[in-house]
Amino acid sequence: MSVESPYETPKSSLIDVLHDDICRNGRYVVIRPDVEWPSRCFKCNEDTILKKEVKLTYINPWIYLSILINVLITIILALIFRKKFTVDLPLCERHVKRRKNFLIFQWTMVAVITAGIIIGSLTELTFFLGISMLVLLMVLVSAIFGRLAFAAKYKNEYIWVTGAGKEFLKSLPEFVA
């Protein structure tokens, strides 16, 4: 015979997916910025207590159209109308480590680029400059695609966040608009 203590923390992580403040919509997690995330890894759905502070910036896609007029206008509009959110993304130890390694890789590449540009301009060997530009492009592309999470949409106080793992998405209730 056992009596459940009300002071005991719930063992099942299912408890924290029962509210509708965090849902899924296709490959997006739909969440209000002020809502606390469940204690499961955003990438692999493993139980975790680790959280990583991530800044999400949302820029209305229409703003990108102004690039046809002038890039400077696009930048100014983006700076004025962007919305910034800070979320505490739950990540397991493995994914925190993976994230750290990725950032170390990125910064190493930035060091390689800087060295390449310096050597290239000192020795006037365009080979080094060429390689630097190539690596720079790789770093930019990997920075865009390697992002942990990204705000794809902001509507009615909900943000649509991309980057979540399949299992994590599956555990969330379907978003009803």
Does 41 help bind Zn ion (rule: CB under 5 A)? yes
CA distance 111 to 115: 6
Total residues belonging to the chain: 177
Residue among 24, 30, 40, 95 that touches Zn ion (CB under 5 A) = 95
Using the rule CB under 5 A, is 56 a contact of Zn ion?
no
Shortest reach from residue 162's CB to Zn ion, in Å: 16
Which of the stretches 20-28, 33-41, 115-123, 131-139 binds Zn ion when contact is defined by CB under 5 A? 33-41
Choose, by CB under 5 A, the member of 92, 113, 151, 159 that binds Zn ion: 92
Cβ 104 to Zn ion shortest distance, Å:
18
- Interface positions, 110-169, toward Zn ion (CB under 5 A): none
Select the span of 43-51, 105-113, 156-164, 168-176 touching Zn ion (CB under 5 A).
43-51
* CB distance 33 to 159 below 8 Å: yes
CB of residue 93 vs Zn ion: minimum separation in angstroms?
8
Residue 114 Cβ vs Zn ion, minimum distance, rounded to whole Å: 33
Question: Taking the chain, what is the end-to-end CA distance rounded to the nearest angstrom?
Answer: 45
Give the DSSP letter string of 20-72: TTEEEETTEEEE-TTSPPPSB-TTT--B---EEEEEEEE--HHHHGGGGT-HH
Helix axis angle, 93-123 to 126-145, nearest 10°: 160
Is residue 115 within 8 A of residue 64, CB to CB? The reply is: no
- Return residues touching Zn ion (CB under 5 A): 41, 43-44, 92, 95
